[in-house]
Structure 1
Amino acid sequence: MLSLVPGPIQTYFSSDTLHTDATDAGRIEAEYPTEFLNTLSFNGYPEHQIDLKVFTPIMLLRNLNSAIGLCNGTRLMIVYLGHYVIKGLIMGGTFNGKTVAIPRVQFLVRLCYGMIINKSQGQTLQSVGVYLPKPVFSHGQLYVVVSRVRTAAGLRFLIVNEPNIPSNYTRNIVYHEAFSGLGNTTEVTTSPL
């Protein structure tokens, strides 16, 4: 996707050196070589190497300053890439359209052409495309993703029930224990889309 965006790529690297005052720095470096550490990838942390372009969408991975809208999960459109700062336009939410600067502590961002259901919670979007290679796996997740869009016309699904065969039904995982004591409830196990 990044190669389709015009303009030059700006590459950022994480800090990957040990503090020289560490008493056992030599042992740690021998056990965990820098090349190995740079290949590790964890949820909620940026990659060692991040390639970005102006006009690409990114998502913040940490709360930086909630007063100006820089919170975990905030989506931004990059408008400027500097050595020590990224400027972006906030997309959605209370601060929609506001230009903000992200300082380089370590750029806690990832490219964001799509997002998982949990990260989409709290977002209100014009259009949503949902890719379900298998049914959602937790109570209420289908509701969360469907309720992110303003109108039904802005909602599209790609559901694959059998290998490579799209369908218009998916399982809606509901734990009926959640409804105990509510009186007469109707059991729903599949949702036509």
Structure 2
Amino acid sequence: MVSAINEFILAKFPGDEVTYFSSDSIEVDPGKEGVVDADYTTEFLNTLKVGNFPDYELKLKVGCPVILMWNMDQTVGLCNGTRMIVKTLGKWFIEVEVLTGTNVGDRVFLPRRQYPIALCFGMTINKSQGQKLDHVGLCLQRQVFSHGQLYVALSRVTTRQGLKILIENDNDEDPNSMLNIVFQEIFDSTYKLQCGLRDQTWD
């Protein structure tokens, strides 16, 4: 869903689009070239979408927001989750301006090998943790699935007026409602630890 939103907005964003491709080969142990080549073809590697690794194809425009996907250099504020805005799209580098953290306003050059960034008009709830935003559009076309996720999403925005929520669900009784997933066991365990009652149980 996040990828679809980002692609939709990028298509409407002004400017020329530049496409970068990731490294699509792997290091091979001597004597195993034939086996590895057969198992990990270029076409297969280009389809992988794994955790905090960038996609095979990265499409950007000058002025669009991006997010850092892993810790590059914590001493200059380049940490996992840092949001930045694209200033220059070169052949062998990308220049960005930092938008969050302790180094807001700094301009940084990302060297070309495999850019650890992703387009970030929209982001997942998990990736939004730690962000403080003036305006948030929350797309809830499906139920959140984990303890505390709804709270995390709603608490990213600094004012109630800056929050917009899109809800689409199959609840006939109240189509404008969304479940707040809470694992009661977490609160029970926390309470027991605080009271020193680990071995006791109650209703």
TM-score above 0.5, yes or no = yes
1:92/1:125 contact within 8 Å kept: no
Cα shift at 1:57 = 1.2
1:63 to 60, 71, 74: 71
Cα shift at 1:96 = 2.5
Q: Does 1:6 align with 2:20?
A: no
Cα shift at 1:18 = 4.8
User: Counterpart of 1:93?
Assistant: 101
AA in 2 matched with 1:41: K
Distance 2:171 2:119 in 1: 29
Distance 1:156 1:117 in 2: 15
Q: Scaled by the length of structure 2, what TM-score is found?
A: 0.79
Distance 1:164 1:96, change over 3 A: farther
Query: What secondary structure sits across from 2:161 in the alignment?
Result: helix
**Larger helix percent:** 2
**Larger strand percent:** 1
User: Counterpart of 1:175?
Assistant: 183
AA in 1 matched with 2:90: G
Query: What secondary structure sits across from 1:162 in the alignment?
Result: coil
Q: Deviations along 1:82-114, whole A, 9 cap, x unmatched? A: 122211112233322222222223111111111
Kindly report the root-mean-square deviation, in angstroms, between the aligned alpha carbons of the 2 structures: 2.5
**% identical equivalent positions:** 46
After TM superposition, the structure 1 stretch with the greater mean CA deviation from structure 2, 45-54 or 11-20, is 11-20
Distance 2:173 2:123 in 1: 23
Cα shift at 1:78 = 0.3
Distance 1:41 1:178, change over 3 A: closer
User: Counterpart of 2:161?
Assistant: 153
Distance 2:143 2:13 in 1: 32
2:28/2:36 contact within 8 Å kept: no
Cα shift at 1:65 = 0.7
Gaps of 5+ in 1: 183-193
Bigger relative contact order, structure 1 or 2 (CA pairs below 8 A, ≥6 apart) = 2
